Each structure stands twice: as C-alpha cells, then as structure tokens.
Amino acid sequence: MSEHIVRQTRQKDAIRDALNGCDEFISAQELHRKLEDRGEHIGLATVYRQLNALAEAGRADTVRLDGQQLFRLCGDDGHHHHLVCTGCGKTVEIESPSESWLKGISDKYGFTIERHTLEVFGLCADCRKSDK
C-alpha cells in the first residue's frame, strides 16, 4: 500500500473519530482546530473534502447556519431531523413528520418526494434565558 493511501486513510479515520466525539454540529474550521489540539496535522482543505465526502455518502448530516456549513455524524438509522439552536448550535434529533403529512404536501404541489431533510432553527431554553 502506498504511503499516500496510508496517510489518506489515517487522516480520514482521524477526522471521523474527531467528528464522532462531537454531539453538536461543528464547522470544518472547528473540527480542524480540534484535530490540531490533538496533535493531528491535517490540512483544512483535507478536512473540508472529507466532511463533504461523508455528507455526500449519507454518513454525516450537514446544515447551514449563519452562512456556515456545519457537520455531524449520522446515527445508525440514516434518517434524521433536527432542532438547531441559532444561539449556541445545540442540536436535538426530532421525530419525522408523518408520512400522510409529507404525502399531502407533495400532492398539494404536484411533487414526488425522493428524499427529505428537516432542520428547524430557533433558540434553545438556555439561550432564551440568557437573552432576558
């Protein structure tokens, strides 16, 4: 196995491991900083590439918050919906809307649903308290 492939695999594993240690969504820059703090010297561009590859493969969730793309490893069932706090980034997985609701929406507008994601943005209880 070539050194380049070994390095790519080690870097991929390190990125996945660091992301696995995050309960909330995290930016590529924050994840890069965590890796650096752990002594992993992986370029920011590599972190971006690997995170996007995980998202494209359906192994990481991604949301946009304040113009920034954030990532989080998916759970085992591969289908998630979230409440995301716009203040602190806290994320909570929520139940899926009912199939009848989705069918009603798609029928109303003449769509056939192939896949869906649902992120609901607002302030968590802690951020609402600190605003007062």
Cα–Cα dist 44/30, whole Å: 10
Q: Does residue 85 have a known ligand-binding role?
A: yes
- The tokens 């998202």 sit on which residue? 55
Under 8 Å CB-to-CB from 84, ≥6 apart: which residues? 25, 63, 65, 90, 91, 119, 120, 121, 122
Q: Does residue 74 have a known ligand-binding role?
A: no
Q: Does residue 22 have a known ligand-binding role?
A: no
Ramachandran region, residue 111 (left: φ > 0; alpha: ψ -120 to 50; beta: rest): beta
Q: Which of 70, 102, 101 is nearest to 84 (CA)?
A: 70
**What are the beta bridge partners of residue 91?**
84
Q: Does residue 80 have a known ligand-binding role?
A: no
Q: Which two tokens stand for residue 103?
A: 């069918």
- The tokens 């869906």 sit on which residue? 116
Q: Which residues are annotated as a binding site for Zn(2+)?
A: 85, 88, 124, 127
Q: Which residues are annotated as a binding site for Fe cation?
A: 79, 99, 116
Q: Which residues are annotated as a binding site?
A: 79, 85, 88, 99, 116, 124, 127
